[in-house]
Amino acid sequence: MSLIIIKDRDGRVHQLKAEVGSTIMEIIRDAGLDIEAACGGCCACATCHVYITNDKINKLKLIDDDEESMLDQAFDVEKISRLACQIEFTDEMNGMELTLAPQ
């Protein structure tokens, strides 16, 4: 079983089952955690902004222009910021640790 580890905005840590092919946003949303994802995963907002807090960030595909443009409009962006809707879960990401960015 593959897992991702999410720290929510209240500091609680959740281990979520992760299915290959799902986006990180879908995994978080389907678990009932507080992620707005207003555009539904179309990379048209930044309400699924997360921080990748372990070395699994190196397993992600490079950020594309659309995602970078959306992050440019977000608050509290850091080098480890990504949009969860743009990250498709793979086996290599098992154990990925993320923190939900402030709203």
The predicted-structure confidence for 37-61, as pLDDT tens digits, reads as follows 999 999 999 999 999 999 999 999 9
For the chain, give the mean pLDDT.
96
Secondary-structure class of domain 3-100 per CATH: alpha beta
Tokens standing for residue 2:
């593959």
Q: What average pLDDT does this structure show over 54-80? A: 95
How far apart are alpha carbons 32 and 93 in whole angstroms? 21
- State phi, psi for 14 to the nearest 5 degrees: -125, 135
Global pTM value: 0.95
Residue 67 in this model has a pLDDT that exceeds 90: yes
Q: What average pLDDT does this structure show over 69-81? A: 96
Indicate the domain borders of the chain. 3-100
